Amino acid sequence: MTRERIFLLLMTLLFCSFANAQNREQKELEAKRARLQEEIRQINTLLSQQKKERQNVVTEVEDLNQKIRVRQELIQVTNRQANLLNRQVNNNMKKIADLRKELGTLKEDYAGTIRRSYKGKSRQNRLMFLLSSESFFQAYKRLQYMKQYADYRKEQGRSIEAKTIELQELNKGLIAQRKEKEVLIGENKKEQQALEKERQEQQALIASIRKKESKYNSQITKKRRETKAIDRQIEKLIREAIAESNKKAGKSSSNATFALTPEAKVIANNFSANKGKLIWPVEKGVKSKGYGEYSDPVYPAVKNFNNGVIISTQRGEKARAVFDGEVSAIIAVPGANKAVQLRHGNYITTYYNLGKIYVKKGQKVSAKTQLGEIFTSPSTGKTELKFFLYRDTNRLNPEQWIYRM
């Protein structure tokens, strides 16, 4: 194999590898875009269901914040898709130019071959060429040369035909890619317009809230008080569960960690091994507020902290266990709703804001077991589950543990 052919083969392999990588990235982006579009659709459905019942302006601002966040991410993903397509278009244009140049050279060589063949194509000339041989061996070599020359012409013709077809296919693909890019750009323009409209709604709502400072402040104070009460109750019950478990095992009840039996260690290890793969605590829903510090929707300088994640879902939805475990506590916060706490070795999951409870303390449950019906607020119309995750008394970020959260 000549150096030129080896080089051509290597370049072909590199191009194919690059093209495959681009196709994989395009498919991943398309899947992400579809997920974000579905999330926006779910948010719109939930907002539509709750609109007639919503009275709480703070909740409305938070809903708009969530919708804006998801739409911004959708625009970013669509932009990345358009940029990737643009790179593919440019690569294909370069390949088409190279192919046209290669095809031109092939046709030129083929034309020269035909001209040379035409000059000596008569049977008499070929016969004289053979008869003028000085030996039988030379005649044989000349016959082989004539055959190879004829084969070479045929191969040139087939190569030209193949390159022509390849060029036609590339041109078709280029047209399709350009159309796809135009569709993505058109979709992005619509999303940008929708985003601008939502931002205007948000600003108008914030302006109206700021005119009613005292009412807004009372709503914020109430929400913070409820949140702190829930956090305190959850952590208190975790400490009690640790003390009770350690006492049964004959260990110190003052420890801040579970004294694990061999069976509990297996459960804890299995739970830990499923980090990032745990099922969602609801069958259908969207994350409306993530874990960690976040800015107040009206006064961005004011910071709050969320110890878990909040998932918005539809009326009548059930909370379900994310993993096999045991009901360690049923929580009832005075003036608020109920919660179920599950123990998975030394991991604790908490499912708060339940109107009805389907399990009892000490009950063994498996993943997907329904724990209770999620409460729907009559004032806001929202059906939200607050989900918390702890290892012993240490708070963990559920977003890192639940699949694609």
Compute the distance between CA of residue 361 and CA of residue 159 in angstroms, rounded to an integer. Answer: 77
Structure tokens at 9: 């083969």
User: How many domains does the chain divide into?
Assistant: 2
Structure tokens at 402: 């639940």
pLDDT surpasses 90 at 146 = no
Between these two residues, 15 and 202, which has the higher pLDDT value? 202
Band of residue 153 on the pLDDT scale cut at 50, 70, 90 = low
Note the pLDDT of residue 356. 93
pLDDT surpasses 90 at 169 = no
Compute the distance between CA of residue 95 and CA of residue 197 in angstroms, rounded to an integer. Answer: 43
Looking at residues 143-150, what average pLDDT do you find? Answer: 66
Band of residue 241 on the pLDDT scale cut at 50, 70, 90 = confident
Q: Do both 78 and 193 map to the same domain?
A: yes
Of 211, 229, 385, which is closest to residue 298 (Cα–Cα)? 211
Residue 189 lies in a domain: yes
Give the contacts of 291 (CB within 8 A, at least 6 positions apart): 306, 307, 308, 309, 397, 398, 399
Length of the chain: 405
Note the pLDDT of residue 308. 93
| pLDDT averaged over every residue in the chain | 76
Note the pLDDT of residue 272. 96
Band of residue 362 on the pLDDT scale cut at 50, 70, 90 = very high
Burial of 172 per CB tally in 10 Å (0-12, 13-18, 19+):
exposed
How far apart, in Å, do the first and last CA atoms of the chain sit? Answer: 53
Note the pLDDT of residue 9. 58
DSSP string of 190-234, one letter each residue: HHHHHHHHHHHHHHHHHHHHHTTHHHHHHHHHHHHHHHHHHHHHH
DSSP string of 1-12, one letter each residue: --HHHHHHHHHH
Between these two residues, 325 and 203, which has the higher pLDDT value? 325
Residue 117 lies in a domain: yes
Compute the distance between CA of residue 202 and CA of residue 309 in angstroms, rounded to an integer. Answer: 23
Band of residue 322 on the pLDDT scale cut at 50, 70, 90 = very high
Sign of the torsion formed by the C-alpha atoms of 59, 60, 61 and 66:
positive
Between these two residues, 322 and 32, which has the higher pLDDT value? 322
Note the pLDDT of residue 275. 96
Q: Do both 18 and 61 map to the same domain?
A: yes
Note the pLDDT of residue 5. 55
Between these two residues, 345 and 120, which has the higher pLDDT value? 345
Give the contacts of 76 (CB within 8 A, at least 6 positions apart): none
**pLDDT > 70 in the chain, percent:** 62
Q: Do both 28 and 115 map to the same domain?
A: yes
Q: Do both 172 and 222 map to the same domain?
A: no
Residue 405 lies in a domain: no
pLDDT surpasses 80 at 40 = no
Note the pLDDT of residue 349. 96
The CATH number for 308's domain is 2.70.70.10
CA atoms within 13 A on the CB side of 126: 14
Note the pLDDT of residue 345. 94
Q: Do both 177 and 193 map to the same domain?
A: yes
Q: Do both 42 and 110 map to the same domain?
A: yes
Are the C-beta atoms of 317 and 288 separated by less than 8 Å? no
Q: Do both 247 and 201 map to the same domain?
A: no
Of 113, 102, 122, which is closest to residue 11 (Cα–Cα)? 102
Between these two residues, 29 and 314, which has the higher pLDDT value? 314
Tell which phi-psi region holds residue 368, choosing left (phi > 0), alpha (psi between -120 and 50) or beta.
Answer: left
pLDDT surpasses 50 at 140 = yes
Give the lowest-confidence range in 63-72, 142-151, 220-229, 285-294: 142-151
Q: Do both 18 and 151 map to the same domain?
A: yes
Q: Do both 245 and 358 map to the same domain?
A: yes
Bridge partner list, 93: none
- β-bridge pairing 303-306 and 370-374: unpaired
Note the pLDDT of residue 53. 46
Looking at residues 47-67, what average pLDDT do you find? Answer: 61
Kindly state the helix (H) or strand (E) to which residue 303 belongs, with its residue range: strand 303-306
Q: Do both 177 and 303 map to the same domain?
A: no
Band of residue 231 on the pLDDT scale cut at 50, 70, 90 = confident
Of 340, 345, 378, which is closest to residue 357 (Cα–Cα)? 340
Local structure of 312: helix, strand or coil: strand
Give residue 404's identity as a one-letter amino acid code.
Answer: R
- Domain final position from 176, 210, 244: 210
Band of residue 176 on the pLDDT scale cut at 50, 70, 90 = confident
- β-bridge pairing 309-313 and 286-289: antiparallel
What are the angstrom distances between the C-alpha of 276 and each of 38, 172, 272, 310? 21, 42, 9, 17
pLDDT surpasses 50 at 123 = no
Q: What is the pLDDT of residues 305-314, one digit of tens each?
A: 888 999 999 8
Give residue 127's identity as a one-letter amino acid code.
Answer: L
- Domain final position from 160, 181, 210: 210
Between these two residues, 242 and 180, which has the higher pLDDT value? 242
- Domain final position from 210, 243, 278: 210
Of 288, 223, 245, 188, which is closest to residue 393 (Cα–Cα)? 245
Bridge partner list, 342: 327, 349
Q: Do both 256 and 203 map to the same domain?
A: no
Note the pLDDT of residue 350. 95
Q: Do both 8 and 28 map to the same domain?
A: yes
Q: Which domain holds residue 356?
A: 214-400
Residue 246 lies in a domain: yes
